[in-house]
Chains A and B, each alone.
Chain A
């Protein structure tokens, strides 16, 4: 019944995580503009890993708890 609250809390964590990754990437890129290419690549990898957490929550919720 309250599974949307669970999804909301999961998305809160993912949102904060993605924001922190972006923050670190911005700081690094502003310190060393010549490393922007490498930082962009690593930032995208980290964002993919954090997104997976929300997708796993979504599919586990659907299959286990019927939401």
Chain B
């Protein structure tokens, strides 16, 4: 509670420096920056504490062990989706996972959070889909990347269907931004709204005004924190693997060789 009051006094100070017309915008954007700075501070502090247990042979301390398990989990996800050549995307995907997870966890304790803000989520989605387009253009060339939206090569009178497939694929690619950002925003901000609604309901129906009943949702929101971070990273991996087919064939061969 004290930190929230501190941030609101900080924000009112920022508001005094802003122009009178754009007060609302400056307060809302300063809100995101202040909370994002807090997310970064928590993340780097956790990594700094975890790094103390890292020495040559064995990882001491539970935080270093947990960080190792997290690395193995993300590496398993990336290599399982993109093959062995996907290891070079590890820093990108791990950054997304860490930022989203810590911002989600902070949303459990504070009324605002970077991931409870639609602009921040849209920015992250644009970065993710923009990176997927960049990888596609790098792998297939500019016209090859655009041609891959047209679907399979149909001959004869079916060219019209190819045109329709192209339009639908372009719309679907643009809507990936919307779905990625809205999924995260809906889960985290929806958690806030659901907690508020349940607290109001408990106050009106059960006259439980002294205890905020919305805090009982924290376990399921904790599950949603982890799952949403994983889903954002996993969907980025899947979109990259759909666009650049480099080592995908190798892993299929290995699977076929192992199964028979």
Q: Which residues of A contact B (CB under 8 A)?
A: 38, 41, 44-45, 48-49, 51-52, 54-56, 58-59
Asked if B227 is at the interface of the complex by the 8 Å CB criterion, the answer is: yes
List B contacts of A48 (CB < 8 A): 183, 227-228, 231, 235
Q: Which of B183, B230, B235 contacts A51 (CB 8 A)?
A: B183
List B contacts of A52 (CB < 8 A): 179, 182-183, 186
- Residue of chain B at shortest CB distance from A42: B234
Q: A44-B231, A52-B182 are in contact. List 4 more A-B contacts (CB 8 A).
A: A45-B235, A45-B238, A48-B231, A54-B186
Complex Cα–Cα for A55 and B227 (A):
16
List A contacts of B179 (CB < 8 A): 49, 52, 56
How extensive is the interface on chain B, given as a class?
10 to 19
List A contacts of B227 (CB < 8 A): 44, 48
List A contacts of B187 (CB < 8 A): 51, 55
- Residue of chain A at shortest CB distance from B190: A55
Complex Cα–Cα for A41 and B233 (A):
12
Residues A56 and B234 in contact in the complex (CB < 8 Å), given A44-B227, A48-B183, A51-B183: no
CB-based contact B230/A59 at 8 Å: no
Residues A41 and B183 in contact in the complex (CB < 8 Å), given A55-B190, A56-B178: no
CB-based contact A55/B234 at 8 Å: no
CB-based contact A44/B182 at 8 Å: no
Complex Cα–Cα for A4 and B77 (A):
39
Shortest Cβ gap from A11 to chain B (Å):
13
Residues A58 and B183 in contact in the complex (CB < 8 Å), given A44-B231, A45-B235: no
Shortest Cβ gap from A55 to chain B (Å):
3
Q: Which residues of B contact A (CB under 8 A)?
A: 77, 80, 178-179, 182-183, 185-187, 190, 227-228, 230-231, 234-235, 238
List B contacts of A59 (CB < 8 A): 182, 186
CB-based contact B230/A44 at 8 Å: yes
CB-based contact A56/B182 at 8 Å: yes
List A contacts of B190 (CB < 8 A): 55
CB-based contact A55/B235 at 8 Å: no
CB-based contact B231/A55 at 8 Å: no
- Residue of chain A at shortest CB distance from B76: A37
Candidate in B77, B186, B235 with the most chain A CB atoms within 10 angstroms:
B186
Complex Cα–Cα for A39 and B173 (A):
26
Shortest Cβ gap from B214 to chain A (Å):
19
Complex Cα–Cα for A45 and B228 (A):
10
Shortest Cβ gap from B178 to chain A (Å):
7
List A contacts of B182 (CB < 8 A): 52, 55-56, 59
Shortest Cβ gap from A4 to chain B (Å):
13
Shortest Cβ gap from A59 to chain B (Å):
6
CB-based contact A55/B186 at 8 Å: yes
